[in-house]
Chain A
């Protein structure tokens, strides 16, 4: 991306003149600019995060340790926060802004309000980022080496928690913006079905409002006052549970924009149409209902939580497989339809008719394929008893590099090849590089993730700078630990190269003077349209209400018993105003 602002250079103007009137950029130049600036932040975070990733891969495996092992955790915090908070959420905010505007066919209500949330999210991220990076320079006396889960009583500098809170408020404002845009549309279109993309944006944001309640309470009520020394350390099991209240649904917050792209953009790139609009709506409603009351599945091996609560979370989790299984069906059916439209025939012969040379298509399809594998390893995690074998081993990062690290991240990269030309008006710099890049990501991930899964079965822990201990021998099922290490590091290097190629390709696209082609074709409607589905599906208030009730059912008893157990502030912890001390001294 050249600049987030409108570059009014001569070449740009002349290139723009060649764009069709109905292209997104010409219709919504301002919204395009917002999306560009969100993507810019996302890509910067992605680049730094990927660099941390390859450093970790080389460090853990003992191949190259360029930082001290005690600093490994600063890098890991940065990797987690930049990739799963900044990269994913900024990118999806861009996708949602584009999708809501495109499908409602009207811009957000107020330009100022839109920029206000963009700035809020950016300021929050910058605050958290500064607090983390300061950990590398001891003389500053500020650090946030708490990883992206920030379990108390490990403590970060207040700036980290405040930055998180500001960031989350920014995402709420974004959601409010998209709802206002929708209500404005509703005013002019009474009685019409909500356009599909907008429906997906709105249901996802309802889920997000509910999910972030947990982390908002954790950060604002407990962690910020504690880090400022105003209250004692909170009950660690309570803050951990509040974190996972948010920590599971956030997974679907990353995934829903990928689904939006698979449902609405991928069929078009494949040359066809979405199979079923009603089913797509059902899937998003199911995610709204089921995403949150499952967080306790991250706490299967936590003490202080009764087995029954864990069991309920597990049952809900298993039902959460349903919308993903339905998605697999619809996406494959839509692609097949596309292939047949392009002249494909036969049982499997149609596969040959697909546009495999298009990086957007191949990238998204490979991402979907990896998601199937990730879903499989996820089902294993979700089984309560099997979880005992793999909990907190490197198996777990092996799993989520398939899901968020590929199903989501690779879909975002692939979609960028299609979307960036639409919001810049510039032709993709190189399709061959794009194609090579998405395939390289897939191959790199096969190596890294497979090695992680196998290492996890041998018991090698995650989040560990040097998983080599004098007391411990890790027994692998097949192959040596040494060869697993090599595979992990090799995969990590391939992934990093792929990330660089992506950034270079997108960067050169943003500076490309060739006008983008093919912008005049609209996204086609689904084969079975929304009129086939009951209107109750569009009753967002009803679904939001049911979702809240389910959350209350799933969480009120566990939270109550956790607080009954060790209290809100367990005994023995004094409030120590570490940060405020100098200030208080001055006042006193």
Chain B
């Protein structure tokens, strides 16, 4: 088959580009330690979250000196809890699932971003080095009130942080808030 010289050059350059892309991402995944949402979160029965450990009382749990777990349940049209508080200089693992339809969970200004699918648990780990206030939005259409579905994440100065042990009541995404959050470039894994 006759292939023009310029075509051969172009073909070679294209292949190089593609292999280059793949290697950057391999490096990103293996070298720089970027973790992906995967199947580690396990499965739950979306109609029985009340009896599922963690999701029976969504919120923050301390599991180590500077390690926290946050269980979040998404439902039309709110996140439970509606306000999440963690201290700075901590590693926070989010477990997110849905009570009803497919939702999204994105901590705006970071790359903590996952789909929320009923029956599946999304597990994402984020490091928060600096105090700051972040918005959390549902980024997958979930019904007529989708645009009101949001929550907030407050990363506190460790000295100001106290674990809230009482059960947090779900706040509607429309709920009053005084936050004009300015993401302060908190690092995320």
Contacts and interface: CB of A to CB of B under 8 A. Distances in A.
B2 A278 contact: yes
Interface stretch (A105-113, A194-202, A428-436, A569-577): A569-577
Contacts of A573: 47
Contacts of A302: 37, 114-115, 117, 120
Interface in A514-544: 528, 532-534
B146 A392 contact: no
Given A302-B37, A304-B120, A384-B25, A325 B17 contact: yes
B14 A389 contact: no
A566 B145 contact: no
Interface in A132-184: 145, 147, 151, 153-154
Contacts of A561: 39
Interface in A425-472: 459, 461-467, 469-472
A422 interface: no
A254 to B, nearest CB: 22
A21 interface: no
Contacts of A307: 29, 36, 38
B25 A471 contact: no
Given A321-B17, A461-B137, A473 B182 contact: yes
Interface residues of B, number: 76
Nearest to B143: A154
B144 A391 contact: no
B146 A305 contact: no
A502 to B, nearest CB: 29
A44 interface: no
Contact of B46 (A393, A528, A572): A572
A572 B7 contact: no
B37 A301 contact: yes
Interface in B112-132: 112-123
Nearest to A322: B14
Contacts of A384: 25, 28-29, 36
A17 interface: no
Contacts of A278: 1-3
A276 B45 contact: no
B38 A306 contact: yes
B32 to A, nearest CB: 8
A73 B141 contact: yes
A154 B46 contact: no
A528 B2 contact: yes
- Residue of A304, A307, A310 with most chain B CB atoms under a 10 A cut-off: A304
Contacts of A533: 1
A365 B54 CA distance: 56
Contacts of A473: 108, 135, 180-183
A463 B137 CA distance: 12
A66 interface: no
A310 B35 CA distance: 12
A391 to B, nearest CB: 5
A153 B100 contact: yes
Contacts of A392: 104, 106, 113, 115, 139-140
A572 B120 contact: no
B147 A467 contact: yes
B58 interface: no
B70 interface: no
Contact of B36 (A300, A319, A462, A570): A300
A321 B29 contact: no
Contacts of A73: 141, 143-144, 146
A579 interface: no
10 contacts: A73-B146, A154-B143, A302-B37, A307-B36, A311-B29, A325-B14, A385-B34, A471-B135, A471-B150, A572-B45
